Structure 1
């Protein structure tokens, strides 16, 4: 039945075609009129099958140069006129039939977001009709069109994207009063959604005629949103809630726009495109300025809190397990909270803002370190002045120099003396423990900052490079950000360790060690009594100091003990005299001191102790020598020669000044004008 109907239709068409010549109808006229009739029917019914037949007939219409001369003249003679607005418009044959078609499809395509919300093949057919009618009418008007399809698609995209953007902008503004989000943040999100629809639904269709359709729509949306964003950026000076809301949304939109464009033209093409067609929002730069302003203000508060924490510290351990002070825990709490706030901001940041933040934190730790060591006085304030150098003399009666010696002893400032007294062993150890806690936790803080920064930046490297011409988002190595603090804290630990040792020997034990050891003669006040006291000091120290610092503090105590021993031997004043017979006793005392600090392997490493003790042995070796040998050696050194004992003139002179024989006394009097002193009392 169907075949018969089809045959009947064909027969009717053939019959009609036989009359074309009489009626002046050609194939071109037939295809044009038939396309118009079918298209009109399509407009009424929406049946896509009709549209495909329209396309088929439009494609059959030959180009102007393909028509014969007679047909061209015949078509040119076919004209129509339309009265409109008190005027009469004259139309050619093709204009009469195809201009209405073109007008209808242009209207739909100029707002394809509205009319083709789901894309579909219908849009493909409509664009095909638009391109075919444009070609035919363009020839009719004798227009020389270069890439007409692409130019027309350009106009469709521009018109429809602008229209769609205006609609979402209007919608966002209406909802602004009820929304908790800034209108520009909402608009950025809606614009991103619009671009996703564009790239997923429309660009694949449009790219058949315009390979860079997605690039055009993306760059246009970038410009449209940028026009709205510009005034807001100009007035953004501080890290307000609006800035925190808008900046990330705008930056995210720009990143997405760049990624869409890069997917079409590649990274190299994107570089060129950004330079030629786009004006970057520069959110990162503007954001960096306001973030830096926040960072500077916040770091000022951090410094204030750090100073307050250190100044209120009592330097008592938190607990037997936590032997540091509470201030360093508070300092880390403040700094970590500030870091959390810094990374909680979703606004774009550059490496410069991170570096400024880290420098501020580094400075805060250095300020804390300086406050911890502030009461630590200089060595000169702790160690008593060296007595005036005198020579031994048997005769009594010359006491003026001893009197002068007493007068020249520099008194310690009362305020400093009070501060020194308050620096007990326990409080010094807590200060050291706090410094150790500070430096031991720096690595964790660095790792946390580095990881969080890497997480922020990893997805933005390529886009930043294209937008700015270079990559500013590359994750920098943050492992050296706190090297200033490390250096400062390590130096502070060394200083406190040295001070602790000096305070024990030259302050706490000044009377038994510095003033009375070896007084009058070596046998009367040996070192063993001092070692007993040192044992108590070490026990107290080890109860408080953390294991990691124990050896450093004990080493400081050993160094101070050796300094004290050398001080007593070489600068002990008129009450100290030595003879070669005393050398074995001094060697024995040095061995006692050495073994005490080694403590059978439980103390300092033997190698460390041996190395430190080795500097005292040459001094004792000089005590062992006969006076004449020492005099000859000193004479050789003062004349520019070398000491056979590897000593210097200063040390040799002091050994001779403390030698209890007349030959030494006479020599230093004659050659060095050393005054005499009273003999030691018995």
Structure 2
């Protein structure tokens, strides 16, 4: 169905800029500024070369191409084709033989066939120069056909050579081509078989060509500057081999020559100092990464190599009809392959560049040839295969940059048009529009999928992306229609007061225009979009329904009473809604039916209700901010061991919900989720505030340096113990009580064998936080049930059976807040446990246990303090919080016990005879959690958590030699896994991960470091050169 007169007039006025664009000129057949301007609209994704124009890059690319072909041919039989021809042309013949065929046959191009391009008869002109692009002497006939000879010539015609075709395609004059041949002839004299990648072409050109080879001095100077700029780009600015300080002198000499060449042409004679300096600098830079004769690096750095290669690839298009590939494309691409060694190109880079060139040509020619887009997609399939084959291997950084840059540009250009395809493709014939839209969709989805798969990202499927394009473009089209109707001055949006009748008339007309837009979308675009989306017309209709609904709500929000104008607007909205819903049904768009929210008169009330909800949420947020400023985490009372701020917040939330469900408005349910989300966000913010109490790492002591035990004599050890014991000084605990440390035993001066709990005020505040989180969680569940009950239709008049069924329904309004609370409980319990063990109980546990000797510093005093702390914990925490809190204390205790054994510092050492006492202490520690707290931690849980500690204690019972063997096995296994199965001879120092385990090399090494044994000390000295303890 074509657009109506009014909508068509609107799109003609809105698309004036598009009609003037090069893409639109080519798309609709109107005269445009040409493909050069169109190409300018698509920026090169690979960047630009400073000081080198597009023509300079094209000429340099041809020079590299010719050099690679000539040097590759050398003096072999293959090079015979380069030595024949008239006028010194030396190039393989095209147009005869099995590959090219004869002049009147259909050319059978393998590349065209693979890309899905149609073959043309050779009688059709293949290439021709534009007027003024080259001089008359450099414009031969079409490649593959005969070149007409002057009248009277004995030879009537001959087929064009590859050199002639490529020179013509690259717009190189015969004079420039002759200079290039002259240089290469001199360079390759006596060097049969010299490879192209060993020739620094710009330097050879500067050496061989003098001022008489050019028309005038200005041309010579400009040519010389181009060659120097090319060398600068390849050797310094974009070198494939990084520069370092060793090449500073060469860079400086090169810069000096360049500065001299800026003012006037330098003397390139053999006796010239400037030329000698240039040669020395260039040769030093080009050969810095490889021995002479292998390969020099002057044109293989990114983006120089890619720009040169892309310029070559652009030469495969017919100059007369730039939407067509030359019939000789197979031969030309085969010859371009010879430049790969010089430019550092491989097959994968070629595929990416070739895909970009085909896409660029499709855009530059105004998107009038879908076959070009199809060819680009065919090459992108090869790119996808390349990317998939390299997923398990490290990426080449140059390939990764070219890949992401080129495909990103293709995707971005396509998506820019798809996000507003009504503007880009809605102003021409239906066939032209759909063809261009299909190409853009294929390119965007194909490139996006390849990019996503290359980085192992979750790729949005094609239907989802097309859904997004439809919605964005429909919104944009609706906005343009709306702005056209409002005369670019939207009173409802900008806030300017309009006449009521005027506004009502605008909305009534807008409803008609929206319906017309929907019909146009279904007739022109939806049939094509159905290839990628199951119900595109339904999505478009749902989007337009939502767009008009937004405008309608804005209008109704300003209404103070029901008027005739309001009735007309509602009637127009009803007709529009009926048409759009019918479109959704016809398109089988059941998944989007729920998006079509019916237009309702009660929307006026919804506005007031929304304001009320926002106000209540604002009050809740103020309550939260007040809690953050004033909360000190002290319990309200012994019977209410949670924070006052939580009570205030929950009372406010309950009152808000009660008032909300008391409002007698049927449209209330539409605001229910907004209210629930707002309250849920406040709850989550408060839970995050509760959980902001640091982390366990802040309480873990640092690991001491690895040392080996001193091997003092028995008499000396007894003397040290006797000397240290009388000097024990009373220590002050964190609670201010004087305690005495004797051989690691901590006994309170006030408590004797019944020490007071060491739980600090800070830890008790963490317990209040735990109680508060449980209080919040229980109230969130109650509020969620209330929301589910009332939203499902429950109320005061509901029957008991229905009430039971509704209350049993799943509650999901505050799932995020509930999940956040559960996470916060685990976090706060863990922090509280580590603070209790490593901070509050550090004197009796980590600092005192086994300090100075195992026999004199057993775990019993620490267990007495631990039991008192657990008793206090149980008395302070609510029942629901106790199991997880005690379990975290158990984990922290086992962690502290392990750190005493493995990272106890210089004042702890163990012998094999200590194993029995340590094992007995571990059993006592386990028994404390199994028997204390009336079953808060199950015995199997205690056993599971103690497995690591039991493994380390068992290891301590082994001989030093056996521990050394286990260290060797563990280290060898780890090293072999890291090095791919080839362990080194010497044992490396294991990495410290704090993941203690009997099979962990670091754990075994630390057992040896704490082993008071001559064999262990000698092994540590010999294997790791560890120092003795001081």
Per the normalisation by structure 1, the TM-score is 0.51
Q: State which of 978, 999, 1007 in structure 2 corresponds to 1:647.
A: 999
Asked if 1 retains the 8 angstrom alpha-carbon contact of 2:553 and 2:603, the reply is no
Q: Deviations over 1:370-406 (max 9, x none)?
A: 22222x1222222221111211123699xxxxxxxxx
Quickly say closer, same or farther: Cα 1:232–1:559, change in 2 above 3 A.
closer
- Residues 1:329 and 2:662 aligned together: no
Contact 2:846/2:896, CA 8 A, preserved across alignment: yes
- Which residue of structure 2 lines up, in the alignment, with residue 237 of structure 1? 557
Contact preservation (8 Å) 2:870, 2:933: no
Deviations 1:56-75 (A, max 9, x none): xxxxxxxxxxxxxxxxxxxx
Q: Which runs of 5+ in 2 are unaligned?
A: 1-550, 572-584, 586-597, 717-757, 798-805, 978-996
How far 1:531 sits from its partner (Å)?
0.8
Query: How far off its partner does 1:565 sit?
Result: 0.2
Task: Name the residue aligned to 1:444.
Answer: 782
Q: Are 1:317 and 1:324, in contact at CA under 8 Å, matched by a contact in 2? A: yes
C-alpha distance in 2 between matches for 1:345 and 1:568:
64
Cα pair 1:597 1:609 within 8 Å, conserved: yes
Q: Which residue of 1 aligns with 2:890?
A: 558
The alignment partner of 2:845 has SS state of: helix
- In structure 2, relative to structure 1, the CA distance for the partners of 1:670 and 1:352 (3 Å cut) is farther
Alignment check: 8 A CA contact 1:284 1:350 kept: no
- Deviation track 1:109-168 (CA, whole Å, cap 9, x = no partner) reads xxxxxxxxxxxxxxxxxxxxxxxxxxxxxxxxxxxxxxxxxxxxxxxxxxxxxxxxxxxx
Greater RCO, CA 8 A, separation 6+ = 1
For residue 302 of structure 1, the aligned residue among 620, 624, 635 is 620
1:454 pairs with 2:772: no
1:53-452 superposed matches below 5 A: 236-237=556-557, 282-349=600-667, 352-374=670-692, 376-394=693-711, 423-452=761-790
User: How far did residue 441 of structure 1 move?
Assistant: 1.8
2:667 match: secondary structure: coil
Q: Aligned equivalents of 1:390 and 1:566: distance in 2?
A: 17
Structure 1 residues 601 and 554: CA distance shift in structure 2, 3 A: closer
Q: How much has 1:609 moved relative to structure 2?
A: 1.5
What pairs up with 1:458-477 in 2 under 5 angstroms? none
Matched, 1:632 2:984: no
In the TM superposition, what whole-angstrom CA distance separates every residue of 1:277-319 from its partner, at most 9, and x where no partner exists? xxx8623555445534443343233112123135423323223
Do the aligned partners of residues 291 and 499 (structure 1) sit closer, same or farther apart at CA in structure 2, a change above 3 Å counting?
A: same
Match of 1:606 among 927, 939, 942: 939
Q: Give 5+ residue unaligned stretches, structure 1.
A: 1-230, 255-267, 269-279, 398-419, 460-473
Distance 1:600 1:476, change over 3 A: closer
1:622 corresponds to 2:622: no
Q: Deviations over 1:303-350 (max 9, x none)?
A: 121231354233232233222222211111111122233223333436
Cα shift readout 1:524-581 (whole Å, capped 9, x = no counterpart)? 1111000111121112111111111111111111111111000000011111111111
1:386-433: CA deviations, max 9, x gaps?
Answer: 111211123699xxxxxxxxxxxxxxxxxxxxxx99753432222111
SS of corresponding position for 2:888: helix
Q: Is contact 1:287–1:348 with CA below 8 Å preserved after alignment?
A: no
- 2:849 is aligned to 517
What is residue 593 of structure 1 aligned with on the other side? 925
Residues 655-680 of structure 1 deviation map (CA, whole Å, 9 limit, x = unaligned): 011111122122122222322213xx
Change over 3 Å in CA distance of 1:235–1:582 after alignment to 2: same
Secondary structure of the structure 2 residue equivalent to 1:663: helix
Closer, same or farther: CA 237–576 of 1 in aligned 2, 3 Å: same
State the partner residue of 1:217: none
Equivalent-residue separation in structure 2 for 1:281 and 1:457 (angstroms): 26
CA distance in 1, matches of 2:895, 2:822: 23
Q: Tell me how many residue pairs correspond in the alignment.
A: 380
Q: State the distance in 1 between where 2:809 and 2:636 align.
A: 35
Query: What is the CA–CA distance in structure 1 between the aligned matches of 2:761 and 2:1015, rounded to whole Å?
Result: 47
Does the aligned pair in 2 maintain the 1:307–1:367 contact within 8 Å? Answer: no
Give the structure 1 partner of residue 434 of structure 2: none
Any conservation in 1 of the 2:641–2:877 contact (CA below 8 Å)?
yes
Q: Deviations over 1:409-466 (max 9, x none)?
A: xxxxxxxxxxx9975343222211111011112221111112222238999xxxxxxx
1:526 aligns with 2:839: no
1:665 match: 1017
* Root mean square deviation of aligned Cα: 3.9
Partners in 1 of 2:826 and 2:552 — Cα distance?
Answer: 54
